[in-house]
């Protein structure tokens, strides 16, 4: 009896436990089902900025890293030996061609010049006397008062002294040149650097160190590189006419100057697979400086009536670029794209969008397919520029709430 009684109670407890488990499962299912629906209904729409895909003219740029170079660089050196008496420039000063930069002691060279001039004067006097003697002998020879040998000797002396005068003139010219070398003038218009020699030092013509370096910075040049694959596009643009080049600071924040592409280097660097190009800039405001690193953008062509969206709307996924398109019910759709290079903050769309479709330009990290979004009630702006609106919304995008 006791065993049967215990067995009955055990079965009763087992049935109670099974029923309790079933009730718990059903209760949890009933509890979570309405909660999930309520949660979905309570999720707010994501605030985003949007822009319209539109057609516009887009400039196409190629960009490379460049180095600013002085248009001319001259190391001013001494060409004669002597004491450097005076430095006539201030470091960092702008000098013009022909301006005095330094003065070497001219006295030894002045003395050599004066001596050469005096020697020529002496030889001119001797030549004059020899000519007069020759004329006398030439008159006396027909009367046999002077021998033919005497006349010939005197003629040779005249020729010799005439040749000596030419030597004297050459010595004078050389002495004058050496004297002029004691006055060191700027060969170009440019800006002086740090002084390399102080007054009082003895300088030598064989010394290559120099006195100062003068660089011409107006105009100025930029040498930059592009991948060899872009050579055809640049060459085609250069053959069509003037190619504009814009320099941008390395942080990408400021346009420094605009200039003209001058040449493409005559060979490709096989080690890097790149080609060098050179552009010239007026540099009126000295925004470019020799040795400075800049980004150089070359305008190779302009895409006419191209379909574009802002760069901010393009995302990169495992299958390539895509964007979030806002549908009529304010939900978003993931749309794969085929894009091309763009410019001016715009991306060219080859496939994937139609003109007028809205794309999301902000808060994409909070989005996935089917999520609802909300934007302001401002009139939509297109990728190509603002549409007329009294609200004053920023061009190119719709301001988020």
pLDDT tens digits, one per residue of 106-116: 999 999 999 99
Q: How far apart are CA 359 and CA 367, in angstroms?
A: 12
Domain end residue (candidates: 177, 203, 229): 203
User: How far is residue 114's CA from residue 171's CA, in Å, rounded to a whole number?
Assistant: 11
381 vs 52, higher pLDDT? 52
pLDDT in tens, 275-309: 999 999 999 999 999 999 999 999 988 888 889 99
Residues 274 and 365 in one domain: no
Q: Report the Cα 94 to chain-centroid distance in Å.
A: 23
Residues 176 and 233 in one domain: no
The pLDDT of residue 276 is: 95
pLDDT > 90? residue 81? yes
CATH number of the domain within which 279 lies: 2.40.30.170
Quote the CA–CA distance of 110 and 176 in Å, as a whole number.
8
| Residue among 248, 262, 114, 238 at smallest CA distance from 175 | 114
Which of 286, 303, 320 delimits the end of a domain?
A: 303
pLDDT of residue 206: 87
**102 - beta bridge partners?**
87, 184
Residue 396 inside a domain? The answer is no
pLDDT attached to residue 102 = 95
Residue 36 counted as domain residue: no
Is 382 inside a domain boundary? Answer: no
> Is pLDDT at 348 greater than 70 in this prediction?
yes
165, part of any domain: yes
Q: Are 134 and 159 in contact, with CB atoms under 8 Å apart?
A: no
Q: What pLDDT, on a 0 to 100 scale, did the predictor assign at position 400?
A: 33
Q: pTM of the prediction?
A: 0.64
Determine the pLDDT at residue 253.
Answer: 75
Residue predicted with more confidence, 23 or 354: 354
- Please say if the pLDDT value at position 389 is more than 80: no
Tokens of 367: 């989005």
The residue with greater pLDDT, 261 or 401, is 261
pLDDT digits (tens, 9 = 90+) for 12-63: 666 666 666 666 655 554 444 444 444 444 568 889 999 999 998 888 888 8
- Residue 348 pairs in a beta bridge with 308, 340
Give the domain extent around 226: 62-70+218-303
pLDDT at 79 over 90: yes
Angstrom distance (rounded) from CA 158 to CA 175? 26
Q: Which residue has the higher pLDDT, 396 or 81?
A: 81
pLDDT the model gives residue 35:
40
Do 230 and 297 sit in the same domain of this protein?
yes
Least confident of 154-168, 209-223, 379-393: 379-393
Has residue 178 been placed in a domain? yes
Q: What is the pLDDT of residue 19?
A: 67
Q: Are residues 198 and 249 in the same domain?
A: no
The pLDDT value recorded for residue 31 is 44
Mean pLDDT of the chain: 84
């Amino acid at each position: 009896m006791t065993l049967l009684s215990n067995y009955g109670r055990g079965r009763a407890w087992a049935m109670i436990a099974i029923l309790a488990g079933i009730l718990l499962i059903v209760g949890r299912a009933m509890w979570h089902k309405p909660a999930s629906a309520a949660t979905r209904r309570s999720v707010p729409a994501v605030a985003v900025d949007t822009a319209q895909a539109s057609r516009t003219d887009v400039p196409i740029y190629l960009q490379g890293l460049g180095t600013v170079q002085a248009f001319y660089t001259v190391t001013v050196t001494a060409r004669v030996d002597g004491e450097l008496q005076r430095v006539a420039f201030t470091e960092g000063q702008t000098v013009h061609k022909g301006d005095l930069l330094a003065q070497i002691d001219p006295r030894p060279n002045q003395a050599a010049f004066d001596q050469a001039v005096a020697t020529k004067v002496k030889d001119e006097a001797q030549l004059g006397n020899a000519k007069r003697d020759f004329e006398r002998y030439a008159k006396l020879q027909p009367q046999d008062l002077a021998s033919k040998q005497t006349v010939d000797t005197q003629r040779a002396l005249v020729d010799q002294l005439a040749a000596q005068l030419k030597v004297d003139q050459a010595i004078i010219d050389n002495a004058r040149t050496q004297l002029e070398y004691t006055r060191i003038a700027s060969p170009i218009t440019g800006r002086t650097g740090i002084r390399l020699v102080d007054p009082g030092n003895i300088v030598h013509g064989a010394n290559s160190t120099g006195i100062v370096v003068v660089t011409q910075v107006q105009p100025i040049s930029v040498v930059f590189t592009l991948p060899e694959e872009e050579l055809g596009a640049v060459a085609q643009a250069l053959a069509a006419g003037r190619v504009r080049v814009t320099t941008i600071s390395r942080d990408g924040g400021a346009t420094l100057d605009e200039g003209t592409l001058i040449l493409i280097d005559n060979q490709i660097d096989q080690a890097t697979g790149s080609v060098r190009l050179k552009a010239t800039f007026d540099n009126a405001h000295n925004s470019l400086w020799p040795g400075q690193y800049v980004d150089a953008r070359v305008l190779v062509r302009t895409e006419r009536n191209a379909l574009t969206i802002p760069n901010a709307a393009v995302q990169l996924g495992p299958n390539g670029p895509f964007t979030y398109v806002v549908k009529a019910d304010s939900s978003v759709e993931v749309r794969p794209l085929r894009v091309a290079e763009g410019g001016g903050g715009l991306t060219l769309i080859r496939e994937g969008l139609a003109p007028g479709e809205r794309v999301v330009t902000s808060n994409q990290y909070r989005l996935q397919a089917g999520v609802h979004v909300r934007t302001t009630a401002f009139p939509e702006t297109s990728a190509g520029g603002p549409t007329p609106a009294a609200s004053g919304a920023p061009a190119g995008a719709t301001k988020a709430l």
